[in-house]
Amino acid sequence: MKISKKIFSFITSVLVLATTLTFGNAVSAKADTNDVPVQLYYSYGVADSGETGHYTGYIAIKNLAYDKKVTVHYNYTGPQASNVWNDVTATYVKTNPLDGYEIWKFETPVVFTHYGFGQIQYCIRYDVNGQTYWDNNNSKNYVGNDFASSRPHMINYGQTSENNKDYMYFYVGTKKSVNPEAVRIRYSEDNWATYKDVDSVKATDIYYSDDTNCWYIKVPVSSGKQIKFSAYYVLNGVQYCDNNLGDNYVFNN
C-alpha cells in the first residue's frame, strides 16, 4: 500500500505523541553525536486541528557550560512561502543516558494551514562560552519531518495478524548519504531479560522523504506481551541507534 507524504506525516506525528515511554537500555551503542556540539535528533509535524499544525523537534546538545542558548532558525516553505526567517528558542528536557548529551526540545508556532500541508526548512544554533555552533544538515538545512544522518530513525511501527499469528512491523529510516552494513531491530518481550536482533530489508511500500532510505522488519510476537525495542544500524563495525532518546520504544501487544 502506498502512503502519501501528507497522510503519512500526520500519521507519524500522532504515533509519536501516543507512544508510551519506559526506561531501559536496549542497545549499548553510540547514539548519534560523533562528539559534535549540536545535532538534530528528529523533527515531525503535529496537526493541531483539521486546518492547522506546527513542528516539534528534539536536539542533542553537548554540555559545554551551564549558561547556554539553543535556537532554531526556520523559514516556511509551504504554499504561502516567504523569505522571512524566524527564530524559536529550544528548552532543556533531560540528559540522554546513552551518550550523555542534553536533549532540548523546540516547537514552532503554526506553520501549515488548510491551504496545504506546509513544511519548514531550518537549522540549529547553539551559543555557549562566547562561541556559536551550527547544525545546518551539511549546508542543506533540514526540511519538514527530518532527522540527522548519523543515526537511524524509527519512522513507524504497529501490529498485524497473519494466519492467526501476531506480528509487529517496523519501518526504519536512514539517510541516503549513509551506507550501513546492517539495519536492525532489537526487541524484548520480557523487559530485556532476553532479546533478539532482527535484520531488515529495503522497504518499497512507504515514503518518508527524498533523502531517506526506508527499511522494513516483521517479527512474530506473543499475544498480550509488552514489546520493548530500539532500532540500530552498523557502520564500520560500530552500532548507531535510535532508542527513543534513551527511553526505548514500548508497544503493548
For residues 17 and 81, give the distance between their C-alpha atoms in angstroms, rounded to a whole number.
27
Tens digits of residue pLDDT in 101-132: 999 999 998 776 655 557 889 999 999 999 99
Which residues, 6+ apart, have CB-to-CB distance to 154 below 8 Å? 170, 171, 172, 173, 231, 242, 244, 249
Q: Give me the DSSP letters along 137-152.
A: TTTT-EESSEE-TTS-
Which residues, 6+ apart, have CB-to-CB distance to 47 below 8 Å? 10, 13, 14, 53
Answer yes or no: are the C-beta atoms of 231 and 42 closer than 8 Å. Answer: no
**List of the chain residues with pLDDT < 50:** 1-32
Strands across the sheet containing 165-175? 153-162, 165-175, 212-220, 201-202
**Structure confidence at residue 203 (pLDDT):** 96
Q: What's the pTM?
A: 0.82
- Do domains 32-147 and 153-252 share one topology? The answer is yes
Q: b/e map of 134-159 (b: 16 or more CB within 10 Å)? A: ebebeeebbbbbbbbbbbbbbbbbee
**Structure confidence at residue 79 (pLDDT):** 62
| Burial class, 86, CB count within 10 angstroms (exposed 0-12 / middle 13-18 / buried 19+) | middle
**Structure confidence at residue 80 (pLDDT):** 62
99: left (phi over 0), alpha (psi -120 to 50) or beta: alpha
**Structure confidence at residue 19 (pLDDT):** 30
Tens digits of residue pLDDT in 36-73: 999 999 999 888 877 788 999 999 999 999 999 999 99
For residues 221 and 166, give the distance between their C-alpha atoms in angstroms, rounded to a whole number.
6
Answer yes or no: are the C-beta atoms of 17 and 46 closer than 8 Å. Answer: yes
CATH number of 32-147, picked from 2.60.40.2440, 3.40.50.1820, 3.30.70.520, 3.30.70.270: 2.60.40.2440
Domain ranges of the chain: 32-147, 153-252
Q: Assign domain 153-252 to its CATH architecture.
A: Sandwich (2.60)
Q: b/e map of 207-220 (b: 16 or more CB within 10 Å)? A: ebbebbbbbbbebe
**Structure confidence at residue 132 (pLDDT):** 98
